[in-house]
Each structure stands twice: as C-alpha cells, then as structure tokens.
Amino acid sequence: MIELSDIHKRFGDLEVLKGVSLRFAEGSVSALVGPSGGGKSTLLRCINLLETPSAGTVRIGDDALTFKQGEKVAWKNMQRLRRQTGMVFQSFQLFPHRTAIENITEGLITVRGWSKEQAKARAMELLQKVGLAHKADAWPATLSGGQQQRVAIARALAPSPRVLLCDEPTSALDPELAEEVVEVLANLAREGTTMVMATHDLRLASRIAQDVAFLDGGSIVEEGPASEVFNRPQRERTKRFLASLAAVSASD
C-alpha cells in the first residue's frame, strides 16, 4: 500500500500542494488528473521524493517518512523509500549514448550491483514484455517516440519496484504512438502491477485506472472509482474539466 498523509509542498511563497491525503492499494492502478499547475505531477514526484514534501508523511509498504518544515530527513532513509519505486518520465530520459538494452542494464549494474549477465537477462526479459526484443541493440535516436517510452518503461521495471510511477507517459506522443504505450501499460495493469500516473490522457486513464483523483489548485476536488468520476462526476469543477478535455479530443 502507498499512503500519502497531509502532503504539503511549497516553492518559496507558492504552496503547490495543500494537505493532500490519498491511499493507493497494492495491485491497483490510480490516475491523478487535473489542469496544468493543479499539482498532480508534483504529488506524483513526492511519492518517490524527487520532490521533497514540505510537510506530511509518505508511506510505501512498511516504510514511512514524515517531513516537517525546517527539518531534514536522512538521505539513506529517502533512498530506502525511493528504491521501492520506478519512474517513467514524459520526455523518456534515455541515455543517448547507450543502446536500448544498455539503458536498462546501467542502473542494475552500477546502482544495484548486479552482474552483467544477470542484468542483460533481466533487460531482455523486459524488452520482450514491451515488444522490443528486436531493438535491444538500437540507439535511442533510431527509435520512435513510442518505442523510446517503452524502453523507458522497461528500465523503470528492471529492479522490480513496488510501484510504477508514470508522469504524463503519453503526452509527448502522437495518438498512434501513444497507443503503443497505452497497450503496454494496460498489459502491466492486467498483470497486477501497482501504478500511479499523472496524466491528461483520458483514454489512458479511463482504460487502465481503477481509481481517479482530480486535483486543482493543490487540493483534491474529487476522487473515487474511475467509472464514477469520469461518467458521473459530482463536482462542477470536475465536470468542467472533463468537458474541456472532451472538446479538445473531439477537435483533434
């Protein structure tokens, strides 16, 4: 289980998150949706401490860290929590001077201390899972955006994290390439991979997520089962947001 309790995040005088509390069950897929600047990506990055909360508690499984204004948390404790997560970024973040398989093995060898043989076997297993075993020796520059994102997903899964975090995983892709990534994530969801994603892509969220939290202005406006939030939203702000996304999709 992943639990966020009363999470605040400030950048100087700007309070981006205003006491957000959420739970994500083991084996579930949850989507954080909302307008740009609403706080969803910041909240996602607080889970793996790429952004350090100004206050609040982050729990992953049996490990929990509490943050207080002006108090530092030990780096080793942050690393212990972070190691339970895998992160998929909007812009892929592949090493351009490493092949697809090397992008996956690099962290296993240098950070986790795996042997090259172990790391290569794990990487090939994951490239097969995302449909790219035939591109193992390809350079990122020769891959399409969808292929690069699938390599990035394989890399994030390599150390078997407790939760896969996806920050706008399809927003940099055109609809056809995005579909490749949606299908890979859908397969992972069917296998019971715990995922939390921040996304504008309603197709992705409605197809994969079981639960949805709508954030605006650093607070949760509405949360619940995806079918309820998307089809029968209760809050006017949620209704307006979903209507605006539907209008954009219709015009594309």
CA distance 65 to 59: 6
pLDDT tens for each residue of 204-240 = 888 899 999 999 999 999 999 999 999 999 999 999 9
Q: CB-side exposure of 232: number of CA atoms within 13 Å? A: 4
Residues facing 65 on adjacent strands: 58
pLDDT-derived band of residue 249, with 50, 70 and 90 as boundaries? low
Domain positions in the chain are 1-84+165-252, 89-160
State the fold for domain 1-84+165-252.
Rossmann fold (3.40.50)
Pick the more confident residue, 248 or 79: 79
Alpha-helical segments (H) within 97-164 = 100-110, 116-129, 145-157
Query: Nearest Cα to 169, choosing from 188, 142, 190, 192?
Result: 188
What pTM, to 2 d.p., does this model score? 0.92
Is 204 in contact with 182 (CB distance < 8 Å)?
yes
pLDDT tens for each residue of 125-179 = 999 999 999 999 999 999 999 999 999 999 999 999 999 999 999 888 888 888 8
